Structure 1
Amino acid sequence: MAFTTISKFEVRNNMEDEVREAFRNRPHLVDDAEGFKGLNVLNPRENPAEFWLITHWETEQDFHHWHRHHRSEAHKGIPKGLKLVKRSFELRFFDHITS
């Protein structure tokens, strides 16, 4: 069974356009991580300051290995000066049933 993570955060200093651009131009460092299957970045219309990241992995262990050892590399493209709404970050784990 595949493993999926969904994380969300909310920008508090009007840098939504910079965040969107950073994701469009991301360095794709996670793409070569063992077990990585894909990334979707969503931005809800009713709250454009909120971002949802959905990552798909072969196993939960693959995700945790990347998260422990390589996460900071993948976050190098974060716009300078970005501020998040306190306690807006959320990370959830899912078993992927079907697509």
Structure 2
Amino acid sequence: MSIVIINALSVPAQAGDELEKRFAARKQSVDSSPGFEGFKLLRPVSGENRYFVYTQWATRADFENWRDQRSGAAHAGSEGKKPVAQGADLMEFEIVEL
């Protein structure tokens, strides 16, 4: 059963453009990871002020393997830059096959 991982990022209003630019620069960096099924960056519009990073994985183990293998420094800041987000909450869901 596929799972969805959503990372809710608290981003200062003036930093949204920079966050989007950084994600665009590396949007395909996870594509070849085993079990990766898709990615979306969701910009807040109404009723929410956080960005949501939506990823879909074939299994929880696939996500955990990717998370454990990636470099924390490379993920936290792009090319040595300071992180844009001021906080993050990780949420996990199973996809219900109807």
TM-score bin (small chain): 0.7 to 0.9
Is 1:64 the counterpart of 2:64? The answer is yes
Please state how far the C-alpha of 1:9 moved relative to its aligned partner.
Answer: 0.8
Are residues 1:9 and 2:9 paired? Answer: yes
TM-score using structure 1 length = 0.78
Q: In terms of mean alpha carbon deviation, does 6-15 or 16-25 score higher? A: 6-15
Distance 2:44 2:8 in 1: 11
Unaligned runs of 5+ in 2: none
User: Where do residues 18-97 of structure 1 align in structure 2 (5 Å cutoff)?
Assistant: 18-26=18-26, 28-46=28-46, 50-70=50-70, 72=72, 75=75, 77=78, 80-85=81-86, 88-97=87-96
Tell me the C-alpha RMSD between the 2 structures.
2.8
Identity of aligned residues (%): 26
Gaps of 5+ in 1: none
Name the one with the larger helix percent: 2
- 1:54 deviates by 0.7
Q: Please state whether the residue corresponding to 2:14 is helix, strand or coil.
A: coil
Distance 2:61 2:53 in 1: 19
Cα shift at 1:74: 6.2
